Amino acid sequence: MSLRRKVLQGSGLMMGGQMLGLGMSFIRNIIVARLISTDDFGIASTFFISISLFEMISNLSVDRLLVQAEDGDGPEFQATAQAFQALRGAANSLLMFLLAWPFSRLFDIPQALWAFQCVALVPLIRGFVHLDPKRLHREMRFGRDVLSELLPQTVALALAWPLARWFGNYAAMLWLLIAQAAAMVLVSHITAVRRYAWAWNRSFFSRMAKFGWPLLLNGVLMFLIWQGDRVLVGSAYDMTQLALYSVAMTVTAAPTDLLSRASSVVLLPPLARAQNNAERFAELYGFLAQALSLGGIVVAVFFIILGPGLVELLYGARYAGVGPFIGWFAVMQMLRLIRTVPTTAALAKGDTVACFTANVARAACLPVLVILATSTRPLEWLAVAGCVGEVAALGTILMRMRVRHGLASNIAIIPAIFSLCATMSAGAATLVTKQGIGLDRLSALCGVLVTSFLGGLLFFPHLRFHLFVLMRKPTLLSARTDSRQQGP
C-alpha cells in the first residue's frame, strides 16, 4: 500500500474515531448541563482546569517521541517511557491532593474541597496507560489507538444520565472523569500488542528530557493560554459566568480539536520521513495548510452564524448568554487550527522549541486578560484579546520556520488571510439576518461556505491537485507518491 493511501485511510479512521469520541463527550456535557444547575456546571468546569494544569506542566510528550525517534520502536525505549508516565501520574496526583484546599479557595467554592481531593485520582490512574497504541502510529496503524480513545468516551456517555440524576450536582462530573480514566487505562492494555513493562534507561530518559523540555515549558504556556482565562473568569466572576464561558469554549474547540489532532497524528509520520527531502516536505506542508484552512472556515463560519441559537437549543435557555462572544471564540479556534500546520512541521523536524516560542507570543496577551477580568469587563473582551494573541503566535512560528527551516511563510499566510476574509463575510451576514436558526441564517451559512469552497479550489493548488487526483486518477496518485518516496 502506498504512503499516500495509508495517510488517507489513517485520516479517515482518526477523523471518524475522534469525531465519534468528541461527539459523545459533547452529548455527555449536554446531559450533565441540563440536569444540574449552571453554578454546579461551573464548579465541574474547575475540575477540568485543575486536571489540565498538572497534565500540561508535566508533559514531556514521550508518546510523540515514540513516533518521531528512529529507534522509538524499541521495547526498552517504550518501557522507559511507560515508567516515566507512571511516575509522572503519581507525582501529579500527590500535588493535586495537596493543593485541593488552595484551589477550592481560589474559586471561592470551599464546599467542593472533597471533590478536588478526589479529582487527584485521575492523573494517578492515567499514569498506567499502555503506550503501545501510540507506538503503532509509526506503522500508520491507528485502529487500536482509536479504540483506546473511543471506548472510554462510550463508558462516560453511558454513565452520564444515571450519575447526573443520582447526584444532581457537580459530583456527577467528578465520578464521570474517574470512570473515564479507568476505562482508558483498561482499553489501552487490551488493545496493546506488546506486554506492558517498565524500564529505566538513563540514556533514553536523557533523550526524552531533551526532546520534551521545550514541550514541557510549552505545556505551562498552554495552560496559561487555554485555561488561564477560565481561572480568571472563575475567580473574578461567578460560577454561572464561568459555566457560560466554558460552554462557549468547549463547543467551539471540539471540532477544531478533532481536525487538529487527526491531521497532526496522521501527517506527522510522513512529514518526519520527508524531513530531509525539501520538495516533498514543502508539498505535504502546503497541502496541510490549505486543507486545514478550509476546515477552519467551516467551523468558524458555522459558529459565527448559528452558534448562539445552537447553544440555546442544546443546553437550554439558561445558556443563551453565550451569544455575544461565541463568534469570537470560533475565530480564535480557527486561528489555532491554522497554527497546527507549522507546529506539526516543526515537530516533524524535531524542533520543539518552535512550539514554545509561538506560545510565548500567545501568552503575551495574559496581562491584558488579567486587567480585563479584574475590572469585570464583558466576557467578549477576553475572547477578542485571545484572537489577537493567536495572530501573534502564528506570526512567530511562521517566522521561525522560514528562518530555521527555509519554509516560505506565504504557504500558510495566504490560507490564513483567505480564512479571515470568510469569517468577516460570516460576521456581516449575522448583521443582516435575524437571530436564532432561521431560514435566512441557514441560507447565509450555505452561501458563505459554498463561496469559500469554490475560492479554495481557485487559490489552493495543492488542495486542488489532490482532490482532482483522488476523484479522477487514483492510480496516478499512487504512482506519484511512490516516485516521491524514492527521493530526488
- Could you tell me the pLDDT band of residue 178, with boundaries at 50, 70 and 90? very high
402-422 in b/e burial notation, b at 16+ Cβ within 10 A? Answer: beebebebebbebbbebbbeb
- 151-160, 428-437, 458-467 — which is least confidently predicted? 458-467
- pLDDT over 60 (residue 144): yes
pLDDT of residue 487: 37
* Selected residue with higher pLDDT from 466 and 406: 406
pLDDT of residue 137: 72
Report the amino acid identity of residue 242. Answer: L
- pLDDT over 60 (residue 343): yes
pLDDT of residue 277: 80
Q: What's the mean pLDDT in 223-233?
A: 82
Kindly list the domain boundaries of the chain, sorted by start residue: 1-212, 227-483
pLDDT of residue 467: 60
- pLDDT over 50 (residue 227): yes
Segment 286-329, tens digit of pLDDT = 888 888 888 889 999 999 999 888 888 888 888 888 888 899 99
Q: What's the mean pLDDT in 461-480?
A: 52
Average predicted confidence (pLDDT) for the chain: 83
- pLDDT over 80 (residue 340): yes
pLDDT of residue 476: 38
pLDDT of residue 484: 40
Closest to 252 in 3D by CA, of 383, 102, 107, 359: 383
pTM score, whole prediction: 0.72
430-468 in b/e burial notation, b at 16+ Cβ within 10 A? Answer: beebeeebeeebeebbeebbeebeeebeeebebbeebee
